[in-house]
Every structure is written in C-alpha cells, then in structure tokens.
Structure 1
C-alpha cells in the first residue's frame, strides 16, 4: 500500500470510529507560532498551564524522532442542553462550560487516537507515533489550523464550517510522510463580536488572549480571584463560553450526534449550595468523570461562593457564616467575606466583625476589613 492509499484508509477509518474531522500537515517547525508565544510570554499573557519550553511547543521533531507528519483530529461537542434545569431563589444553580459537559474529552480523544494508532500500526508495522490531547507540548489549535481542520478565529478558537468552534482537538505526530492538507481561509472578516462581548476584556485584539484576565482561566486557579473579576464571573463554576455563544459562525450549531458528550443536566448546571459541603471523595464521585473536575473541589467551591454572591442568595448566608468560622482554607474564608458583603445581610456583616477578632491570615483580614471599613484589633 502506498502513502496515498494509506492516507485515504486512515481518513475513512478515523470517521468510522467517531472522529468528526481529520487533517494532515507536515512536521515542519511552527515558526510564526514561536514568535507569538514569545510575545505572549513577554507580555505576561500566558496562563502558566502551558509547556514552558517554546522549542518543544513548536518543533515536532523534538517530540518524535524522524517525525514527518502530524495528523490532527476534531470531535464536536454539544452547544445545547436538553431539559436544562432552572434555578430559583433558594435553589440557585451554577454552570459548567460546554467543553466540560459529558465525559472528560481527554479520555475520549485519547481513546480515539489510541485506536487510530493501532490501525496504522497494523498497516505500517514500523510506524512511529506520538499522540496528545490538550496537555501535550504542541498547540492543538496551531496544528489544526495548519492541517485544514478550521481557521484560527479572533476568539482564539478553531472554527470549523461544519461544527463551529464547538470542537475538541488532538493530534498525532508520525514518521509517515502524509501529504499535507490545505489550511482554510480566515472567515472572521470585520466581525468583532467576541472581542466586544468578553466580560473581562481578555481578548486584547483578534487572536490575542490575556489568559490572566480570561474567566475560563480564572475559574481554574486555586488562589483568590482578584476582586475586579469577581462580579464578572456570574454563576460560572468552571469555564466561560461567551466568546463562542456570540459568534455568528456558531449560530444554529447544536452538535448533538456525540452521545458521550451529552450533558447530565444536574451536573452541567448544579445546585450551588450543596457544592459547599462536598468532601473530596464526594466531589470525585459526583464530578470526577467530567473535565471540569481536573483541578479538584477547591476552585469549584470558591466559584460557587462567588456565584451565590452574584445572586445575592440570602438563604446561603448561615452556611457561609459557618464556613467563615470553621473552614481552614484562607482562600475560601476570604472569598466568603467578600460574598457576605455583596449579599449584605446584617447577620453576615456581624459575622465578619466577629471574625476580625480572631482571624490571623493577613489576606483574609484585608477581605474582612474591606467589608466593614474599619479594623478591629485581635484579642
């Protein structure tokens, strides 16, 4: 079997196992990407989750000896939820972003790439392959753009004509010299809806994101969220979809064909107050199979507190006061202090004054003092 026939076989097989799009590109260095990443580093716009070695991020040959090609794959995920539960006073709900609905996509795409590797290995016994999804060294979006999966949009997503930007991406480096596909032309045009709608102004210009301001990043951090962003987060407990939902290219896109990513409504839009009392084990049992659980329960609980403040949910105040007294985590106590101030009930303010009598953590004290606007000496 020659390489042309092999490439046709690989395309067909990929689609048969539930991969929605597949593209091929060379293993040549991503030189322009390297320049962009260097600028991001210099400006302090990176999230910190990325591979720090820019050479590894942009030179596939460093990741696989004798690399010749990269296979890029895309699998669509839903943009609509059937039977979406509604929150109400006393039963407020948060929301996980669409990319965290259903089964963890890392697991699903790695499985698909593994099956594809086995298929190729049977046809080409001496083939070398290295696959990655999201947490690998390469930029999934840069590979997908060059392999013709879609174009790199102003909202920093890959937009496909068929599935919009609601696609998960993965890739496989190989020593097989596949013919490269043609990249797509950018179809964003003059549209700036995503830049205009970004709640925190994280999209600096088209294609440039300050991750430190991005709600999707902020909801995954483990430290206190800067005060300027708290009111922007709303009821998001993980991730943010604003720059996707406003995009005209996503209008009418639903992507309901991948059953494994259909959301469980009670998990995708969970009740907020029960989250506050979950143990680590309970959190893993409830949320452990979705991608939004990867940072553990602490960020989700912190975000739930912020969401309750967003709703000014008075029924949560007694539990928040109890947590302020007993929770050993300074980030949580500080966030609760702010939340009680936002909700504004007298019993919450009195609890803050009482907490100031014993609180030793300087950052938590700052949060407490901001609410009551005066200092109380520690007894």
Structure 2
C-alpha cells in the first residue's frame, strides 16, 4: 500500500536528474485534474466537424485522467527534441524526382523511442516507490498530449496547434505518464506567440482556421494519411509531400535555427525520408515494410504513400514517369491507384497520355476510376 510520508519533492528532483541520463530532454509535472479548457475546445471541434477521425471518440476520456486510471494523483510529461535538418540530402532532379516525409517521421518511430524512455522512467520510480502505479502514453493514448505538456510547463500551445518550447521550438515529441504519486505541479508557460500569425497565414489548405483552431480534415498532415481518392482541391496543394506537412513549423520564428541531433534513433536516412518517387509505384508490401517499417510514417501502409507519390509526379510534371503511370493505370488492382494515375497522366500532359487514357477508358469498369480518366482527358484537352 502506498504511503505518503516520504519526501516527494526530493523524489521529484531525483526523477528530473535521472531523466537527463536516459535521454529525456525536458520533463514537467502537473496535476491529474480534468483538462477543462481542452474539453471545451474538443467539444467545439466536434460541433464544427473539425475532427480527423483518428482521435479517441470519447471526449471525457481525452480530458479526465480518472476515467482511464484509478485514483490518479499527478501526471509526468516528457519531451524529446528531434532534428529539423539533414546532412547530404539528395537532390530532386529531372528523371529522378523525390518525395519527402515530414520531420516528425524521420528516424525510428517516435512512439517506440518515447515508450522506451517512459519505461525506463517507470522502472526508476518503481525502484524508489515499489507501490507506485503508472499509465504511460505516446500520441495514441486517450489524453491529449499537447494539453498535458502545456499544463506541465513543457511549452506553450502555439497558434500552429503544436507545443513550442523555448529550447527546441516545436520540434519535440511528447509523451506522458499518469501516476498515483502526489508530485507538486510545475507552472504552465504563458503564451508567447503574441501577434505573430505566420503559421495561419501560410497554411497551404487553410486548415489553420485561426490561431489554435485546426480543421483536421483539411490538414495536409491528415490528408497524406488517408487511403481513398484525394479530393481534387487538395491535389495541387500536396506538392511532393508523401507523409505529413511541416509548413506551419518551418515558418515559425521560434523554430529559426533550431536543429538538434541529440538522439541517434531520430537521425534521418536521406534515401528513406527523401525517396525517389518512381520506385515507390511498384514497391512490394515486403520491401515497403523492410525499408520504411521502422518509420512512424509507415503506419498506414504503402497505399497512401504510393498515391501521394503519383500526385507528386504530377506536381513535377515528370514526363519520364509516363510509362510507369500508364502501367499503374492499366494493371494496378486498386482503383485509387489506377484513378490517381489516370489523373496524373492528364496533369503531366505527355503525348502518350491521350491514347493510353482512351484505351483505359474502353476497358475500365470502376465508376470512380472512369471519372478520373475523364478528368485526365479534360486536363490534356486544356493543355492543347
């Protein structure tokens, strides 16, 4: 049975010091009270239809630790800084166009990295307090990581809906641990975005409706993870992004000159995070898992990445990819790939495209794919 006659301030200080030895860049403590402000925001998000669909459906569980942990007393929040630049990045050039994975997907899957740190922290605390209990979470847990980190003093919640730290900017991964230990809470950090509105102003799809308000369904980071046909209005916004979007971070003044290479697991492999596009069109499931399986950007499988690669080739108007795209349009068993390839062929506007699209139209049975073939033909006509 847990006794509370020990010095929890001393234990807190010991935990902070220990965290530095296991690769935790920032640590904070907060109460296990309900996150009332976040609850109001989530209710508003739901009312406006701004949810992505990937979230925990029960809003109360997302904001009330007592619904997911028996008698919580405090929460420990952690942050690990990740790199914002890579050395020897390969160049995209004609015939060898490349896509890009967002920075948060560089290196080993951050879920695994942070769980490793949290597990070490649990083991350390257990060695000090054998009756201590925990529930650790990274991103996929019920609680909103950002709300916990903000209240624990890790950073402030920026207008780009990311936690911004004075030390590392917003290039940090977040995790938290609910405990039955009564740690003294840290002071939350005051908002420091001020009048700056750059992230909202440059959001490619207008997903940042206003500072701190995100329409997740419009966010490119979300759109790159969907598996169906990408809506027409977003295809030209995707650029060469294969997974995620960094725009609202790269324009943030707080991220200027922030680039930390602290954790070896987070170092990017340039050929993986900025891969050639054409080989992605025919990559097998096995090869995809072997090459990209350790990255967080692979969690939805190869289908979204392949679809986005097709759109990226259209973005570049890469006519050297016409043969590969025609093969996808004619032979891929997945309608989304066939249809997206047909649209891309029209977008690129190569002379081979017209006859290939007509041939495909005469044999295609899927209505959605036929609609994309017609879009491709229309695009070719407009370019004549």
TM-score (norm 2): 0.96
Q: Structure 1: give runs of 5+ residues left out of the alignment.
A: 375-379
Indicate yes or no: 2:61 matched with 1:56: yes
CA distance in 1, matches of 2:342, 2:327: 12
| Matching residue within 58, 64, 77 for 2:82 | 77
Q: Look up the match of 1:311.
A: 316
| RMSD between superposed Cα atoms in Å | 0.9
CA distance in 1, matches of 2:358, 2:187: 64
Q: Look up the match of 2:16.
A: 11
Residue correspondence of structure 1 range 268-287 to structure 2 within 5 A:
268-287=273-292
Q: Look up the match of 2:263.
A: 258
| Matching residue within 341, 346, 354 for 1:349 | 354
Q: Look up the match of 1:145.
A: 150
CA distance in 2, matches of 1:28, 1:305: 47
The answer as to whether partners of 2:344 and 2:376 remain within 8 angstroms in 1 is no
Indicate yes or no: 2:141 matched with 1:130: no
CA distance in 2, matches of 1:310, 1:147: 42
The answer as to whether partners of 2:239 and 2:312 remain within 8 angstroms in 1 is yes
| Matching residue within 41, 44, 51 for 1:46 | 51
Q: Which runs of 4+ in 1 moved over 3 A?
A: none
The answer as to whether partners of 2:314 and 2:348 remain within 8 angstroms in 1 is yes
Q: Look up the match of 2:382.
A: none
Residue 371 of structure 1 deviates from its aligned partner by: 2.5
CA distance in 2, matches of 1:348, 1:116: 58
CA distance in 2, matches of 1:362, 1:44: 28
The count of residues paired between Structure 1 and Structure 2 equals 374
Residue 347 of structure 1 deviates from its aligned partner by: 1.1
Q: Deviations over 1:289-308 (max 9, x none)?
A: 11101000000000000000
SS for the counterpart of 2:56 is: coil
Residue correspondence of structure 1 range 89-108 to structure 2 within 5 A:
89-108=94-113
Q: Structure 2: give runs of 5+ residues left out of the alignment.
A: 1-5, 380-384
Indicate yes or no: 2:192 matched with 1:184: no
TM-score (norm 1): 0.97
Residue 51 of structure 1 deviates from its aligned partner by: 0.2
| Matching residue within 109, 114, 120 for 2:119 | 114
Q: Look up the match of 1:377.
A: none
CA distance in 1, matches of 2:139, 2:117: 14
Residue 372 of structure 1 deviates from its aligned partner by: 2.2
